[in-house]
């Protein structure tokens, strides 16, 4: 695990179900702990990029409305919630002495070489200035065919365009299990995966929670994307973001998707 301890540029993705309470309100304690831990990583000389979901859920909670049912409603709630999210991140990170910068992406930025190069420059300039980029999909203008299909995939592309050393996916589950642990009590956590083949994909099971869009399948596909670019990935349980210290102190937690040498 010493190669993990040495990773300098790290992308951390956190999902909606980890960032919010059951009723969709933002989990302030968790967001604050995350901001504290990531600030400490910065203080220790690492560069951090955060990919955060939660905009739609935060918008719904703020407006005290029902879950959006159509695309326009979802896009409207994302617009409300995204600014709410950034307000909190900005406040918590600045409490620990750091500056955040919002970047909202759509898939066409990744697919278009000129726009992708512009995004790469922006990330590298922000990181050079010591900022913590906080990324989400630009849900308010993103449409079917233009979208990433969820923030697990978005985070994988962010790791690529930031030339990250490591992607950490903070989820509401401890890692990849050999079968669905919510249904099978004897399911075993898989500590290490070398390459995401059909056998591994078959372990993914169904979708995630009602509030998030992810699930294990999108995380495994994200692992496939980053491994192809020689970037390792972890899935960890984000219920206590301090687990990130354990990982970067060299202890084995969660599931490690290793780059095969
Ligand atoms: N971009 C969405 C949001 O911020 C979340 C997408 C996802 O959870 O994968 O609400």
- Arithmetic mean of pLDDT, 229-249: 95
- Which domains are delineated in the chain? 2-258 (3.40.1160.10)
Give dist(CA 214, CA 54) in Å, integer.
12
Per-residue model confidence (pLDDT) at position 260:
84
Alpha carbon of 76 to those of 92, 140, 151, 226: distances in Å?
25, 6, 18, 31
pLDDT tens digits for 159-194? 999 999 999 999 999 999 988 888 889 999 999 999
Q: How many angstroms separate the alpha carbon of residue 29 from the centre of ligand 1? A: 20
Over 50: is that where the pLDDT of 258 sits?
A: yes
Per-residue model confidence (pLDDT) at position 181:
84
Q: Whose Cα sits closest to atom 2 in ligand 1?
A: 53
Q: How many angstroms separate the alpha carbon of residue 50 from the centre of ligand 1? A: 13
Q: Which two tokens stand for residue 14?
A: 């956190």
Please work out whether the CB of residue 32 comes within 6 Å of at least one atom of ligand 1: no
Please work out whether the CB of residue 85 comes within 6 Å of at least one atom of ligand 1: no
Q: Which residues, 6+ apart, have CB-to-CB distance to 221 below 8 Å?
A: 152, 153, 156, 196
DSSP line for 60-128: HHHHT-PPP-SHHHHHHHHHHHHHHHHHHHHHHHHHTT--EEEEEE-HHHHHSHHHHHHHHHHHHHHHH
Please work out whether the CB of residue 151 comes within 6 Å of at least one atom of ligand 1: yes
Q: Can you tell me which atom of ligand 1 is nearest the CA of 59?
A: 10
Over 50: is that where the pLDDT of 147 sits?
A: yes
Please work out whether the CB of residue 139 comes within 6 Å of at least one atom of ligand 1: yes
Residues in the chain: 261
Please work out whether the CB of residue 169 comes within 6 Å of at least one atom of ligand 1: no
pLDDT tens digits for 88-102? 999 999 999 999 999
The DSSP bridge partners found for residue 9 are 47
Q: How many angstroms separate the alpha carbon of residue 188 from the centre of ligand 1? A: 28
> Are 159 and 11 within 8 A, CB to CB?
yes
Cα–Cα nearest to 8, from 127, 137, 158, 120: 127
Q: How many angstroms separate the alpha carbon of residue 256 from the centre of ligand 1? A: 23
- Arithmetic mean of pLDDT, 228-257: 95
Give the three-class secondary structure for 6.
coil
Q: Can you tell me which atom of ligand 1 is nearest the CA of 56?
A: 10
Please work out whether the CB of residue 20 comes within 6 Å of at least one atom of ligand 1: no
Q: How many angstroms separate the alpha carbon of residue 151 from the centre of ligand 1? A: 6
Higher pLDDT, 198 or 90: 90
pLDDT tens digits for 211-226? 444 589 999 999 999 9
Q: Can you tell me which atom of ligand 1 is nearest the CA of 85?
A: 4
Please work out whether the CB of residue 53 comes within 6 Å of at least one atom of ligand 1: yes
Please work out whether the CB of residue 213 comes within 6 Å of at least one atom of ligand 1: yes
The DSSP bridge partners found for residue 41 are none
pTM flag (> 0.85): yes
Per-residue model confidence (pLDDT) at position 210:
45
């Amino acid at each position: 695990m010493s190669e993990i301890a040495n990773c300098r540029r790290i992308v951390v993705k956190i999902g909606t179900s980890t960032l919010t309470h059951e009723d969709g309100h933002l989990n302030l304690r968790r967001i604050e702990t995350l901001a504290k831990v990531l600030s400490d990583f910065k203080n220790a000389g690492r560069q951090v990029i955060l990919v955060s979901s939660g905009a739609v859920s935060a918008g719904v909670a703020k407006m005290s409305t029902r879950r959006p049912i159509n695309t326009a409603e979802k896009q409207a709630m994302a617009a409300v919630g995204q600014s709410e999210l950034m307000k909190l991140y900005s406040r918590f990170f600045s409490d620990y002495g750091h500056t955040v910068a919002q970047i909202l992406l759509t898939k066409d930025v990744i697919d278009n070489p000129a726009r992708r190069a512009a995004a790469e420059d922006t990330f590298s300039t922000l990181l050079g200035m010591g900022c913590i980029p906080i990324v989400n999909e630009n849900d308010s203008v993103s449409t079917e065919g233009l979208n990433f299909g969820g923030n697990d995939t978005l985070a994988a592309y962010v790791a690529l365009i930031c030339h990250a050393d490591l992607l950490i996916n903070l989820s509401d589950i401890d890692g990849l299990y050999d079968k669905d642990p919510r249904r099978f009590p004897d399911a075993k956590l898989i500590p290490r995966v070398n390459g995401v083949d059909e056998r591994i994909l078959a372990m993914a099971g169904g979708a995630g929670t009602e509030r998030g869009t992810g699930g294990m399948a999108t995380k495994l596909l994200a692992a496939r994307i980053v491994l192809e670019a020689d970037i390792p990935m972890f899935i960890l349980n984000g219920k206590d973001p301090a687990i990130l210290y354990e990982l970067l102190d060299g202890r084995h937690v969660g599931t490690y998707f290793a780059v095969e040498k």
